[in-house]
């Protein structure tokens, strides 16, 4: 009888330990998936500070106001948009750049999938620090 209880305890323990492996927690986005999504942006944006390309450096983007870098020539639309970049505003912008900032000069049609955007933003939150 004791052996049966031991066996059951061992089984429960094994199941409990296996759970996080079989059902990975999805708090926010998946940074690894987001790194792959960044291919959409990498042709124009660098993550290093001070390196502008076709688009401005995205370094420290989450603490910046839109159009703030002194050494990048933004469109008037971006400069006067009044946006502060957060996970929320970036999500909205990436879903429809022209819809959120009409007349901006970022030649990117948008990222349709909310999952893809969440993953990309999670990746950027670490990679732009």
Site for ligand HEC, rule CB under 6 A: 40-41, 43-45, 54-56, 61, 64, 66-69, 74-75, 77-78, 85, 90, 94, 104-108, 111
* Minimum CB distance to ligand HEC smaller for 1 or for 58: 58
* Minimum CB distance to ligand HEC smaller for 94 or for 118: 94
Min CB(10)–ligand HEC separation in Å: 48
* Minimum CB distance to ligand HEC smaller for 24 or for 102: 102
HEC profile for the chain?
CHHHHHHHHHHHHHHHHHHHHHCCCCCCCCHHHHHHHCHHHHCCCCCCCCCCCCCCCCCCHHHCECCCCCCCCCCHHHHCCCCECCHHHHHHHHHCHHHHCCCCCCCCCCCCCHHHHHHHHHHHHHHCC
């Amino acid at each position: 009888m004791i052996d049966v209880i031991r066996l059951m305890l061992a089984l429960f323990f094994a199941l409990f330990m296996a759970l996080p492996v079989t059902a990975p927690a999805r708090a926010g986005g998946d940074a690894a998936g987001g790194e792959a999504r960044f291919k959409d942006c990498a042709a124009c944006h660098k993550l290093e500070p001070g390196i502008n390309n076709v688009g401005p450096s995205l370094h420290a983007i989450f603490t910046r106001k839109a159009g703030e870098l002194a050494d990048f020539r933004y469109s008037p639309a971006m400069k006067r948009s009044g946006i502060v970049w957060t996970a929320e505003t970036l999500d909205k912008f990436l879903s429809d750049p022209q819809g959120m900032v009409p007349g901006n000069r970022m030649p990117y049609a948008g990222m349709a999938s909310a999952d893809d955007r969440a993953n990309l933003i999670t990746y950027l939150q670490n990679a732009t620090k």
